[in-house]
Amino acid sequence: MRRTRNLISIFTIVAAAASLQGCARWVLPSNSQTTDSPFQNYQSAEDAYNRITPYVTTVQELKARGLNPYTTPNIKVLNYLDLVPRFLPQQSLRQEDLDPAVRACLSGRDSCVGWLAEPSVLANDRTGNVPLDMLGFERETVSSGWKAQMLLLIQDGVVVYKLWSGTPAITETKRDTKPLGPFQDLSGAAASAVTSAIKP
């Protein structure tokens, strides 16, 4: 009798999940991660970078444009010891291989400082088959968003070098498959019901 009730519980879970198949967007969990910055999107960050001119743009101008590590979130201040491994990550590279502006800044030691901004927006949405997801057989997550990295070398209050990298459009799909479903890790409500159902 007990086993029958447990099996009914299992079928009830499966039926409920199946009824939600068309509502994956509202049923399955999602999350987002944003690194606060003055930039609303990738293009605005790149436009701000393009307006910076080495040996012309000053620290005061950067602050007026909203790039101030002391008031703007998530801008790192790097000293020359932080900068050396960024420009010379391998022993095969020599200072002579660097841009002259980078060489001069690093040679200035304490007069050389780096500002590093890494704005990003990333959203993770679970998609796919609702019953298979809820029962732990298959979970599909789609990640989307953008990320950028802006590095400025500043010496004596003036930008002397700038470097940009980034991904304007991120779209990644991750699929986790567990052939045994809830038996794979014996976690979740479905697994508890199945485990109870097979007990004598």
Query: Does residue 63 contact residue 165 with C-beta atoms inside 8 Å?
Result: no
**Separation of alpha carbons 77 and 69, rounded Å:** 7
Q: What is the pLDDT of residue 185?
A: 63
Full-model pTM? 0.68
- Helix or strand or coil: residue 162? strand
The least confident of 38-42, 124-128, 150-154 is: 124-128
Percent of the chain clearing pLDDT 70 (strictly above): 70
**Separation of alpha carbons 138 and 175, rounded Å:** 7
Q: What is the mean pLDDT of residues 184-188?
A: 56
More confidently predicted of 106 and 34 = 106
pLDDT band per the 50, 70, 90 thresholds, residue 8: very low
pLDDT band per the 50, 70, 90 thresholds, residue 111: very high
The residue type found at 120 is S
Q: Does residue 28 carry a pLDDT above 90?
A: no
**Separation of alpha carbons 147 and 141, rounded Å:** 19
Backbone angles phi and psi of 7, in degrees to 5? -65, -35
More confidently predicted of 6 and 176 = 176
Mean per-residue pLDDT over the chain, rounded: 80
Q: What is the mean pLDDT of residues 146-165?
A: 97
Q: Does residue 26 carry a pLDDT above 90?
A: no
